[in-house]
Amino acid sequence: MFYLSSNLKTYNIHASDGEMGKVKDLYFDDKRWAIRYAIIDTRKWLPGRRVLLSPSSFLTLNEADKFLEVEFDKETVRNSPSIPDETLITQDVENSLVGYYGWTKYWTGNMLWGPNESPMTAYKNHEEALLQEQPVDSHRDYDLRSEDETIGFKVHADNGKIGTIADMIYDDQKWKIQYIIVQSSDHPVEEEYFVFPTEDIESADWFEHDLYVKKSLEEVKMRKIYKTKESILIDL
């Protein structure tokens, strides 16, 4: 199923032994647009820590009751590698998390999640286990980006501005951002949205907050306009 990323950030996180906090942000890689980590706000019981959980640890996404169930208990999360709030998520940090939780190294292999198209914890076969043991090049070809910080980016066609990113749409099988929702700049006061698959994104300037899609303004204006973000999900 498809979901709005903005809605996920209102969900509670349920450990196996109780509530841990809420989803604060999502980190995705800027090459494949896969959600690599949910950032959990645990200030009530674990202040001063930035808790990152991979979709590999997600068990249930309950849309009706707005919670995300994960496989670990609170003590396991409490004892995880400490990542202060301002620390960059480097390859070393990711390796420490993978080593502690037993997640798949998504940066190995040729598929979205390393040896698989969806996140997982246990290895299906000996070949997948061997991939985990292979040395990893310290120079990674992606960076992790904040979903929260990407909302509001200006989106441009080949020949002009389309609008700004209002939301993102992900699926709960691959945990990939499949679409961006762009609020039209023609009527900034009204709710008018276009939707673009992330495959249409040609490039991004992460410093200037600009995103470029492989479309002309004329092509964009022929696309369907949506009045609500929820109506887009119905069409998908």
- Tens digits of per-residue pLDDT, 155-200? 999 999 999 999 999 999 999 999 999 999 887 678 899 999 999 9
Q: Tell me: the pLDDT tens digits for 218-236? A: 999 999 999 999 999 999 9
In a domain, 123, yes or no: yes
**Can you tell me whether residue 125 is helix, strand or coil?**
coil
| Shared-domain flag, residues 160 and 86 | no
Query: What is the pLDDT, as a whole number, of residue 47?
Result: 82
Report d(CA 73, CA 86) in Å as an integer: 25
pLDDT at site 130: 46
Final residue belonging to a domain, choices 69, 103, 133: 133
Number of domains, the chain: 2
Domain encompassing residue 85: 2-133
Mean pLDDT value across the chain: 89
Q: Tell me: do 75 and 178 sit in the same domain.
A: no
Separation CA 31–CA 201 (nearest Å): 10
Tell whether 112 and 18 lie within a shared domain.
yes
Decide which of 70, 105, 133 is a domain's last residue: 133
| 19 and 129 part of one domain | yes
Do the domain assignments include residue 141?
Answer: no
State the amino acid at position 6 in one-letter form: S
Tell me if 220 is assigned to some domain.
yes
Those residues of the chain that have pLDDT short of 50 are: 122-133, 136-138
Confirm whether 142 is domain-assigned.
no
Please say which residue of 100, 133, 166 terminates a domain.
133
Concatenated DSSP letters of 18-37: EEEEEEEEEEEETTT-BEEE
Q: Where are the alpha helices (DSSP H) in the chain?
A: 5-8, 74-78, 91-101, 126-133, 147-150, 217-221, 229-235
- Residues 178 and 111 occupy one common structural domain: no
Distance separating alpha carbons of residues 122 and 144, to the nearest angstrom: 24
- Whether 129 and 155 map to the same domain: the answer is no
Report how far apart, in Å, the C-alpha atoms of 121 and of each of 57, 115, 186 are.
7, 11, 46
Angle 177-182-185 from CA coordinates, rounded to 5°: 165
